[in-house]
Structure 1
Amino acid sequence: MSARSTTGGPRRRLRALALALRTRLMTGLFVPLRRRRSAVLRYAGILDGQTVNLHAELPRSAGVPEHAEVVLRRRRRTHRAEARVHRGTAGETLVDAAVLLGAEVGGVPVSGGRWRLALRVRRGRRTRTLPLVLLEPPVPYAGPTKPMTASPVTGDRHRIGRSFRGSARIASTVANPAVEVAKVRLGHAGVSVDFRVLGTRAADPWVEFAASGRTVERPVTALGDGLLRVEVPLGEMPPRGSRPNHWDVRLRDKGGLSLRLGRRLHDVRNPKRVFAMRRLAVTPPGHPTMIVEPRYTPAGNLRMTCTRMPEAG
């Protein structure tokens, strides 16, 4: 048994104890003290990976503001987003906001780091900034889908959390280098794959298809809006022998970049079933009939499986 395994249990228990103590102090001390002068979040979540949805109740001292906006602040950087003020069924004053994150998608240009959230309200000539207090962090829901953990466009990750005193904040992390598949087209002549590169830049890239010591290199075409396309004729991927030949797909460039093409930015719990693609029997010129099946591995990597038809002998 390793030293890490023997110390892992006590460390986890200490972390759990510290978290429980922090939560007790937050809910039992800080939140009651701050509630009268803070906006309390009834809901806060990021369901699509890039839009923060907020639903907060204002303290009575704030009255009914004429205007409200969400303020995101990190160090000397400040950004604002519009919010909507309305009355609840019990006469309370509520504020709703949907804040799009990421300059690439036309939203607030947040970057890596922790951003504090606050609510700025205006009533007449008086302007007031209220802390946004988060009583409970978002809880994952059950079902065939789940909240997106990253932006489907940029790959950046945004997570809602709270400070020691209960103030809501957003922790943003820039995308890890990855190649996200957008679409796969399988035809009798070949396969084309549309994809985008996230978290890095590729200099004069190409795509490599590799199986059992064989490699096929194909050029990349730019489609616009960050999309790239690669096409490979099936005549270059005939199976050898009776066993299936599995072709893995990688993006490479002259700088040494090597990334698997795959599909990871999604909200489904069973991607293998949801993203299943059709199989197709094709007969490339000069080759026996074969079955081609594009699919995703459990890790989300794109793989092309080519198998000789039994009738082809």
Structure 2
Amino acid sequence: MKQEDGLVQAMRRRVVRGFVVPRAWLMNRFFLPRRSKNTALLRYAAVLDGQTVNLHAVLPSRTPRPDRVTVVLQRGRKRHHTEANAYEGPAGDVLVDAAVLMGAEVGGVPVDAGMWKLRLRMHAGRRSRSMALLLVEPPVPYEGPTKPMTASRITGARYRVGRTITGAARIVSSDPVPAVEVSKVHMSHAGITVDFRVLGTAVDSPWTEFVAAGRRIREPARLLETGLFRTEVPLDRMEPRSTRPEHWDVVLCQETGPSMRLGRRLHDVRNPRRVFAMRSMAMTPVGRTPMIVQPRYTPAGNLRVTCTRMPEAD
């Protein structure tokens, strides 16, 4: 079965590669040269914070500066307009800047999942005309300690800049990936409190489980407000059974749906373990052995709590 799945995946990769090469050739050799004279050329297009589309375009030469410009997002019969700024550049050409906030939940454009065409609508007096936005070079991911945000920090919805086979720019909107996003971790001598949000799915009578090797602690998940939950676990139940450290993962469980790990997903850092580091604390639960408690995030962003007996306790 695994061998057959590998063959299917290999065939799919070959099909995709066979389509990408002629598609790129058609775009660069045929469509782009013919459209560049009557379309606005995007010099920059990117989603910087996971939910704001930033655009910088130049209008075709000899195009008069319009009185007003809007960016139009269109999908089928749905259209949304956002104001843009048109001004004259140093070389005398007309430039257009725009920052389009995406998502009704954050007060932005109320787009749903799908592919949205990008166009400019230019107004001069009582006249107006529509112009396509041409994307010659797609955004290139950059290197460094941070990376482009792939999803909104607020909603988890995903937006990326793409282009059609003719070079026309578009925004691809996707629903949030089901996940449990940690909002806050608080430690006290009594226990650990974790606040979290559930994104991209509804949960049915949820609870949490703190899971270590051969051990499982079930705790309730209390709803604090819309989308925000809290769970707490007493430290005396997490006492290590030996001198070796015990690593506890936190899982959200529910009656009918799948379980999900708690963690940090909506960020732009490449090393969440280092950037979101939390201090360790020496704890002595009542009637228990002194121990060191260290909450942290794994390289994958999952929340993990490590409990270790203090050396002098042995």
Verify same fold: TM over 0.5: yes
After TM superposition, the structure 1 = structure 2 runs for residues 220-239 of structure 1, keeping only pairs within 5 Å, are 220-224=221-225, 226-239=227-240
After TM superposition, the structure 1 = structure 2 runs for residues 152-231 of structure 1, keeping only pairs within 5 Å, are 152-224=153-225, 226-231=227-232
Could you tell me whether the CA contact under 8 Å between 2:272 and 2:298 is conserved in 1? no
Letter in 1 for 2:249: D
After TM superposition, the structure 1 = structure 2 runs for residues 243-262 of structure 1, keeping only pairs within 5 Å, are 243-262=244-263
1:134-185 Cα deviation digits (max 9, x unpaired): 0000001121111011111111111111001000011111112110112212
> How far is 1:266 from its partner?
1.1
| Structure 2: distance between partners of 1:7 and 1:260 | 30
Which position in structure 2 is the counterpart of 1:102?
Answer: 103
| Structure 2: distance between partners of 1:220 and 1:10 | 45
Kindly tell me the number of residue pairs found equivalent between the two proteins: 313
Could you tell me whether the CA contact under 8 Å between 2:55 and 2:98 is conserved in 1? yes
| TM-score, normalization by structure 1 | 0.93
| Structure 2: distance between partners of 1:237 and 1:173 | 39
Secondary structure, counterpart of 1:197 in structure 2: strand
Secondary structure, counterpart of 2:193 in structure 1: strand
Which position in structure 2 is the counterpart of 1:131?
Answer: 132
| TM-score, normalization by structure 2 | 0.93
> How far is 1:85 from its partner?
0.8
Could you tell me whether the CA contact under 8 Å between 1:37 and 1:61 is conserved in 2? no
| Structure 2: distance between partners of 1:46 and 1:15 | 25
After TM superposition, the structure 1 = structure 2 runs for residues 1-313 of structure 1, keeping only pairs within 5 Å, are 2=3, 12=13, 15-16=16-17, 18-60=19-61, 62-224=63-225, 226-313=227-314
Could you tell me whether the CA contact under 8 Å between 1:36 and 1:61 is conserved in 2? no
Moved more, 232-241 or 92-101: 232-241
Letter in 2 for 1:292: V
Letter in 2 for 1:161: G
In the superposition, relative to structure 1, how do residues 213 and 139 fare at CA in structure 2: closer, same or farther (>3 Å)? Answer: same
> How far is 1:121 from its partner?
0.8
Letter in 2 for 1:119: L
Secondary structure, counterpart of 2:252 in structure 1: strand
Secondary structure, counterpart of 2:115 in structure 1: strand
> How far is 1:14 from its partner?
5.8
| Structure 2: distance between partners of 1:97 and 1:2 | 49
Letter in 2 for 1:160: V
Letter in 2 for 1:307: T
Could you tell me whether the CA contact under 8 Å between 1:202 and 1:257 is conserved in 2? no
Could you tell me whether the CA contact under 8 Å between 2:203 and 2:257 is conserved in 1? no
| Structure 2: distance between partners of 1:224 and 1:64 | 49
In the superposition, relative to structure 1, how do residues 199 and 6 fare at CA in structure 2: closer, same or farther (>3 Å)? Answer: closer
Letter in 1 for 2:218: E
| Structure 2: distance between partners of 1:3 and 1:220 | 42
**Root mean square deviation of aligned Cα:** 2.1
| Structure 1: distance between partners of 2:174 and 2:263 | 20
| Structure 1: distance between partners of 2:11 and 2:31 | 28
